[in-house]
Amino acid sequence: MIQLYHVHKRYESGTDALSDVTLRVREGEFVFLTGRSGAGKSTLIRLLLVMERVTEGQVLIGGRNVHVLRDSSVPFLRRNMGVIFQDFRLIPNRTVRENVAIGMEILGIGRKETDRRVEQLLAALGLELRQSAYPKDLSGGEQQRVAIARALVNEPAILLADEPTGNLDPQMSLEIMDLLLEINRRGTTVLVATHDTALIERYGLRTLELEAGRVIHDHPRRDGGAGTAPGAGLGAGAWEIAARAASAAAGADSARTDSARTDSARTDSAGAHSATTPLTATPGGVAAPPTSPSADAPEEGA
Ligand SMILES: Nc1ncnc2c1ncn2[C@@H]1O[C@H](COP(=O)(O)OP(=O)(O)OP(=O)(O)O)[C@@H](O)[C@H]1O
Ligand SMILES: [Mg+2]
């Protein structure tokens, strides 16, 4: 669960990027964050990642006030989060494969496990034929998918996506959205910052609207439901559809989805999607509650 209480963020320049923001995102929810350029969307995402510190107020993730964490503890918090930045931030002198694997290397995850998970994700995102390419040789959509693969490789409990469809054509945007929805169906809390009102309108999901740093609307889901996206619990078939959509976007012949589904024996704690679960290949993966930072991230003074 993500909670903000009366959060105020003033940059050193004196700009008040967020003012008195109070909101709550439940575990497993899918939420759009919208508002005009400069409204504070990216700032809110950076506060959740503790890339910036709040000026006033509190940010709680899994019940813990993350802004009293020592700098040295912040990486533990981030282990449970995946992030897709507005500008992708791929490493130019690393291949697609290396860009995706780097998060796991940093966490000290073994070569074999890393290879396996990277393989699965690249296949699921229709990127396996591009794995040796460098970012400069990729299309915008391909770069976007590499950024998504990198965000997912650690099986985060929370996925933060800043304009994930910002540089994509409408068709590709829908395919990326379907992918994010499928990730959400698997239990990951997803927060998507976008100013694409057509996209928001199309999906009818909960939407927090920012204006000049304040939340001016909290539009509930159109279907009145709570929790995950409509269609939650559809099962593994939905993932295959999403994977196929991503593959189609990559060019029908350049992507096989089957290799993404090698882990068929596992049963995850959610009890769903267990037959084909490329994103949750280890117990306590995506479906794990976002409370794990507390296990290894002591607060200041603790
Ligand atoms: N590092 C920074 N230093 C000073 N001011 C900043 C910084 N980052 C953002 N701002 C300012 O804070 C306000 C909110 O910016 P933010 O990037 O959060 O908006 P946004 O909603 O993400 O906009 P966009 O849709 O253009 O990405 C803006 O006025 C911006 O100029
Ligand atoms: Mg932004």
Q: Is the CB of 266 under 6 A from ligand 1?
A: no
Distance CA 218, CA 210 (A): 9
Ligand 2 centre distance from Cα of residue 181 (Å): 21
Measured by CA distance, the residue closest to atom 24 of ligand 1 is 37
The answer as to whether 288 is a domain residue is yes
Q: Which CATH number covers residue 99?
A: 3.40.50.300
The answer as to whether 278 is a domain residue is yes
Q: Is the CB of 13 under 6 A from ligand 1?
A: yes
Write down the pLDDT at residue 227: 55
Ligand 1 pocket test target in 9, 12, 41, 192 with most atoms within 8 Å of CB: 41
Spans of the chain below 70 pLDDT = 225-302
Measured by CA distance, the residue closest to atom 28 of ligand 1 is 38
Write down the pLDDT at residue 222: 86
The answer as to whether 76 is a domain residue is yes
Two structure tokens written together for 246: 């991503």
Domain count of the fold of the chain: 1
Q: Which domain holds residue 196?
A: 29-51+69-296
The answer as to whether 173 is a domain residue is yes
The answer as to whether 143 is a domain residue is yes
Write down the pLDDT at residue 154: 82
Sign of CA dihedral 74, 75, 78, 80: negative
Write down the pLDDT at residue 104: 83
The answer as to whether 229 is a domain residue is yes
Write down the pLDDT at residue 228: 54
The answer as to whether 2 is a domain residue is no
- Determine if residue 54 is left, alpha or beta; phi over 0 gives left, psi from -120 to 50 gives alpha, anything else beta: beta
CA dihedral 207, 294, 64, 215 (to 10 degrees): -20
The answer as to whether 17 is a domain residue is no
Write down the pLDDT at residue 169: 80
pTM of the model: 0.76
